[in-house]
Structure 1
Amino acid sequence: MKSNKEIIEIIKQTSREYLPDAEVFLFGSRARKNASSDSDYDILLITNVELLPKDKLPIRTKIRKSLLTIGIRSDILIQSKTEVEIKKNLPGHIVRKILREAILL
């Protein structure tokens, strides 16, 4: 079984294979350090360029499948820096909540 540190490195490397410019953030129970052994890894990828939703879905799917083949369950959200700037100030928006606990990997 891989250590958490090894898993984090794999997540960063895999994410950057598909989105080389992305900042990779961990959020959720793994970031809060209250994850159970079966918790997935919640990942926010912030890109420099805006992607259409139809372009985000296949990238998310490829990253998730790539991680899953080595036993890493993940949930991935892809947002551009512009999208994050807008959404981080919207009350109740998921991006705003994520940024409160997110850890840059």
Structure 2
Amino acid sequence: MNTKVNEISIKYNGNFKMKDSPKITCSNDAVNLLFNNWDSGSIGLHETFKILLLNNSNKVKGIYTLSSGGITGTLVDVRILFAVLLKSLSTAVILAHYVKKIVM
């Protein structure tokens, strides 16, 4: 019996080499990189959860938007989180969640 199944893939967008990738050496490096790659038009509109994928040298392999929610919350499915981590062969990950507090 020949059974077919779907293959899950991760696609890298970009054409730079890993040697040119930024290296995370402290928390400020991660914050600056994530903030510069966040959609500035929606950063205060809704909550978003992203992951920063790193290799063994703490060089950035990529940023993945895991969840984008509403004004008061966003849900993260850990099965998708682990699928992306395993499929990308990342050795380290930084989890990032941004919510803008509205002061009235």
Q: By the TM > 0.5 criterion, same fold?
A: no
TM-score tier, shorter chain, comes to 0.3 to 0.5
TM superposition score normalised by structure 1: 0.33
| Structure whose residues are more often helix by fraction | 1
TM superposition score normalised by structure 2: 0.33
